[in-house]
Structure 1
Amino acid sequence: MYRVWDFITTYSLLLIIGALIALVWVNADPHSYHHFAEYPLWFSDLIGLDYYHWAQSYGEGYEAVEIGDVTKVVSLRYLVNDILMAFFFAIAGKEVWEAVILKNGSLRGKKAATPLFATAGGMIGPIIIYLGLAALMGSDTYDAVANGWAVPTATDIAFSYLVGRMVFGAGHPAVRFLLLLAIADDAAGLVILAVFYPSGEVDPQWLLLSLGAAIGVFLLFNWLPRKMDRGNQARPVSTWVRTKLSFVPYLIAAALSWYGFARSGLHPVLGLLPIVPTIPHADRAFGIFSEAEQYLTDLLNQIEHALKHPVEIVLFFFGLLNAGVELSSMGDATWLVLAGLIIGKPVGILIFGWFAARPLGFGMPQDMRMVDLIVIGCVAAIGFTVSLFVASVAFEPGLVQEAAKMGALFSSVAALIALAAGKLLRVEKQHG
């Protein structure tokens, strides 16, 4: 595993700083915070929040904002959550795509079996804990929080990787196991968002726009230049397309695909995913924002590294605009999300990982102990980014959503639990 430390620390710190500012701000002056987060940037009938949904989020004073005869509002939060965060999910999608498609990808073959089983356990365990405890709390509570069952299934890929390195050391096989688990978790999370949390009434015919954009840009700017260069070592057409057009055709296709998702009712934050596989890519990968990938000249890696700093800024604003939860809003959903993550994740990962490694015979990575799965489970319990995002789409704005977000924020305590578990279970750090 090549070094990704600089990206992980920057990503996590900016996200955490944004979240801390939001927490202080909303508890000092909730009125100004919500008006800032939902500040209207553009009124139209094309994209944005439904006006009445925006008015509910904006709160007192919404009637003073003149919007004219339109139905949708692009607020600052919508800009970040539904448009700019699409680049973050595209990067996650790129990692999943490479892990699946490349010959030596981490999600190919027997070596991925145990981490993938552990990933399944790390999602099923939290769901059982969340819904089970909600059922025990009574039908009223269950009905209020049931739609948030996916909130505790998430694992924050960067934050958990940061903590994993602190617990195990950079060279420990458990770190690679954890990263693979987090990537697979993200892949499953993308599916959950698409299937279970559409952003509106589903109108699937609009997905044809996304499909057409993906097929068109692949054929015209990837497949056709390579076909025209067949037998010519100089590859003049491919070189011209790469140097003169660069990412522009893919950006246009991405915009069309995003709009197709937005109009289809699926969450538009997933709208760039169909374009990722169409971009020319290398036959190998070294991991998210790794130093070694700076020397790969394929367009996919160039785009990823060009997005590095912009995505860091987007994640700061994501934390700022979504972590603003009043401490008084803590409720049943807070403790259910937290229990799902802190209890369900480690238990699920341990049980499913053990089942894959022992009864099914897939085994464990060399130099990794079975008890290390417990520590990995504690690290993976850091939901944070994706849990916050799922909470924002699982519930309507209000007390339940705020309570669920508080649980996602509190899941950061899993970092301390993981450090303590590492000491208790005598994890030997391996520096690489």
Structure 2
Amino acid sequence: MAEPGTEPNPKSGVIGRGTYSESLRIGAILRKETVGGILLVITAAAAIIWANSPASDSYFALRDFTFGYEPWHLELSLGAWAADGLLAVFFFLVGLELKREFIAGDLRNPRTAVVPVAAAVGGVAVPALVYVGINIFSPDTLRGWAIPTATDIAFAVAVLAIVGSHLPSALRIFLLTLAVVDDLIAITIIAVFYSDDIQVTPLLLALIPLALYTLLAQKYREFFHLKPAAAWFILLPIGFVVWALVHAGGVHATVAGVLLGFAVPVLHRKATAGPDAGPGLAELFEHRIRPLSAGFAVPVFAFFSAGVTVGGWSGFVSAVTDPVALGIILGLVVGKPIGIVGTTWLLTKLTKVNLDPALRWVDLIGVALLAGIGFTVSLLIADLSFTPDGSTNDHAKVGILTASILAALIASVILRARNKQYRMIEADEGVDADGDGIPDVYQERSNPADETVTAPEPDDAGTRADNEGPRSGS
């Protein structure tokens, strides 16, 4: 029998609380991302101020300063190192999180996964269609169709921290899962549509160190009798070789980050599982790398990417009335909520399952607007879509910044107005009348025939063997 809190909560509608362990894990992740999100906002603001100050030339000189080893195609500007190198760290975490969700998380059950996955697809498709509709007669700008499809979870949780929203666990889990699936779609779009001048030889060569990395990650204990901490020093150099070869092959190097994340095992293998097995490799990597990603990699990328010369009020008006910026703004602020909420509403009609009784559709609209903060990945796609020094790229970035601020402000108003209700839900979720350490809302059972079945959840990190015996590694 599964441990308390690892079984599904009662049937609570199309968006539910999930398991208690998942709620704890998501809460811990969002707390870490809050600090990174605030740093992200600060560094982006600093870049914009510097780029529009009398010392703007020094900002662009710093961004465009190049260094590296040219024979390996690694003589890059600081801005390119941030986009191709530091964001690979971010996407490595995306790979870890995606694998964890679909191997050991609540999303291992298709019935649980269908809502956030479908909502993420809707939240990508509708903004893209909005952008295309506005730029349909401009072939040169259509290449930016994917810019308004992204969601920036760090920026979103920073907004939550600033407005003091007591967002219920069901909405927090929905938001993070939505962002993770969104990232998967974004990296797929980048790999398929924004890879130019493909070089087959480096890509084929990359398969060799990737296979070695995967083998060592899966069986590091058997091969070297190493603790997870020691495995880091062996896997990191191999991972760098994979990244360099993928970069030389013409595929955006952040794709290498996702592939390397997928290669790390989430669960202990049978040979190493057991009550004294300790944390797994994925848990250790996430614990060590998330602060690096949220506190350094993403803010530094934002600093070098967000700096755009606006040109005063007239320049701002000219930028936001450009079809590129209009497509991005309307795509993120209008298209995202319509895609996410509309898809979720459609699922309620098709499955005849209602929204959680404690929530209202306005709550989902607020979360969908948070998802309209596309900042980090949107900036990356803008740089891939248009010439970095061109006016179209500048207008795209003004559109991204404007849309992110508008989405954050509107979401803040909606969620702030609902804080009283959220506090009541938060209080209910904290009641533990039987004193067993698991809130009662995660244990109350409805008619078994009506329950949504979810596979048993691992512990809070999702990497240890459960109490029913060892499991195979993945």
Q: TM-score, normalised by structure 1?
A: 0.81
1:9-408 to 2 correspondences below 5 Å: 9-28=34-53, 29-42=55-68, 44-48=70-74, 73-102=75-104, 104-106=105-107, 108-135=109-136, 139=137, 142-163=138-159, 166=163, 169-198=166-195, 200-220=196-216, 222-223=218-219, 225-226=221-222, 240-242=225-227, 245-282=230-267, 297-311=279-293, 312-328=295-311, 330-331=319-320, 332=322, 333-361=324-352, 364-365=355-356, 367-397=358-388, 398-408=390-400
Q: Secondary structure at the match of 1:241?
A: coil
Q: Which amino acid aligns with 2:79?
A: R
Q: Give me the whole-angstrom Cα distance separating, in 1, the residues matched to 2:46 and 2:220.
A: 49
Q: In the TM superposition, what is the alpha-carbon distance from 1:155 to its structure 2 partner?
A: 0.4
Structure 1 residues 152 and 403 mapped into 2: Cα distance closer, same or farther (>3 Å)? Answer: same
Q: Secondary structure at the match of 1:391?
A: helix
Q: Give me the whole-angstrom Cα distance separating, in 2, the residues matched to 1:392 and 1:296.
A: 42
Q: In the TM superposition, what is the alpha-carbon distance from 1:17 to its structure 2 partner?
A: 1.1
Structure 1 residues 167 and 309 mapped into 2: Cα distance closer, same or farther (>3 Å)? Answer: closer
1:428 has 2:421 as partner: yes
Maintained 8 Å contact 1:153/1:341: yes
Count of residues in Structure 1 that have an aligned counterpart in Structure 2: 380
Q: Give me the whole-angstrom Cα distance separating, in 2, the residues matched to 1:275 and 1:348.
A: 31
Q: In the TM superposition, what is the alpha-carbon distance from 1:424 to its structure 2 partner?
A: 6.2
Q: Deviation per CA, 1:126-148: give whole Å up to 9, x if none.
A: 0111111223xxx3xx2232111
Q: Secondary structure at the match of 1:334?
A: helix
Q: In the TM superposition, what is the alpha-carbon distance from 1:221 to its structure 2 partner?
A: 5.1
Q: Secondary structure at the match of 1:201?
A: coil
Q: Give me the whole-angstrom Cα distance separating, in 1, the residues matched to 2:393 and 2:420.
A: 37
Q: In the TM superposition, what is the alpha-carbon distance from 1:158 to its structure 2 partner?
A: 1.9
Maintained 8 Å contact 2:201/2:249: yes
Q: Give me the whole-angstrom Cα distance separating, in 1, the residues matched to 2:328 and 2:108.
A: 28
Q: Give me the whole-angstrom Cα distance separating, in 1, the residues matched to 2:68 and 2:216.
A: 34
Q: Give me the whole-angstrom Cα distance separating, in 2, the residues matched to 1:93 and 1:259.
A: 18
Maintained 8 Å contact 1:5/1:162: no
Maintained 8 Å contact 1:167/1:419: no
Q: Secondary structure at the match of 1:266?
A: coil
Maintained 8 Å contact 1:97/1:277: yes
Q: Which moved more, 1:349-358 or 1:217-226?
A: 217-226
Q: Secondary structure at the match of 1:271?
A: helix
Match of 1:7 among 25, 32, 38: 32
Q: Give me the whole-angstrom Cα distance separating, in 2, the residues matched to 1:348 and 1:356.
A: 12
Structure 1 residues 5 and 360 mapped into 2: Cα distance closer, same or farther (>3 Å)? Answer: closer
Q: Secondary structure at the match of 1:326?
A: coil
Maintained 8 Å contact 1:221/1:241: no
Q: Which moved more, 1:298-307 or 1:203-212?
A: 203-212
Structure 1 residues 351 and 257 mapped into 2: Cα distance closer, same or farther (>3 Å)? Answer: same
Which residue of the partner structure matches residue 55 of structure 1?
A: none
Q: Give me the whole-angstrom Cα distance separating, in 1, the residues matched to 2:80 and 2:41.
A: 20
Match of 1:412 among 405, 409, 414: 405
Maintained 8 Å contact 2:95/2:262: no
Q: Give me the whole-angstrom Cα distance separating, in 2, the residues matched to 1:133 and 1:361.
A: 35
Q: Which amino acid aligns with 2:192?
A: V
Maintained 8 Å contact 2:199/2:250: yes
Maintained 8 Å contact 2:228/2:281: no
Q: Give me the whole-angstrom Cα distance separating, in 2, the residues matched to 1:426 and 1:170.
A: 8
Structure 1 residues 4 and 99 mapped into 2: Cα distance closer, same or farther (>3 Å)? Answer: closer
Structure 1 residues 305 and 225 mapped into 2: Cα distance closer, same or farther (>3 Å)? Answer: closer
Q: Which amino acid aligns with 1:355?
A: L
* Root mean square deviation of aligned Cα: 2.6
Which residue of the partner structure matches residue 68 of structure 1?
A: none
Structure 1 residues 221 and 347 mapped into 2: Cα distance closer, same or farther (>3 Å)? Answer: closer
Structure 1 residues 426 and 280 mapped into 2: Cα distance closer, same or farther (>3 Å)? Answer: closer
Maintained 8 Å contact 1:194/1:266: yes
Maintained 8 Å contact 1:86/1:268: yes
Q: TM-score, normalised by structure 2?
A: 0.74
Which residue of the partner structure matches residue 234 of structure 1?
A: none
Q: In the TM superposition, what is the alpha-carbon distance from 1:105 to its structure 2 partner?
A: 3.6
Q: Give me the whole-angstrom Cα distance separating, in 1, the residues matched to 2:228 and 2:169.
A: 40
Q: Give me the whole-angstrom Cα distance separating, in 1, the residues matched to 2:44 and 2:259.
A: 30
Q: Which amino acid aligns with 2:58?
A: S
Q: In the TM superposition, what is the alpha-carbon distance from 1:255 to its structure 2 partner?
A: 1.2
Q: In the TM superposition, what is the alpha-carbon distance from 1:325 to its structure 2 partner?
A: 0.9
Q: Deviation per CA, 1:46-103: give whole Å up to 9, x if none.
A: 223xxxxxxxxxxxxxxxxxxxxxxxx321112211112210111111111111122x
Q: Secondary structure at the match of 1:144?
A: coil
Q: In the TM superposition, what is the alpha-carbon distance from 1:106 to its structure 2 partner?
A: 2.5
Q: Give me the whole-angstrom Cα distance separating, in 2, the residues matched to 1:4 and 1:46.
A: 36
Q: Secondary structure at the match of 2:67?
A: strand
Maintained 8 Å contact 1:384/1:412: no
Q: Which amino acid aligns with 1:401?
A: N
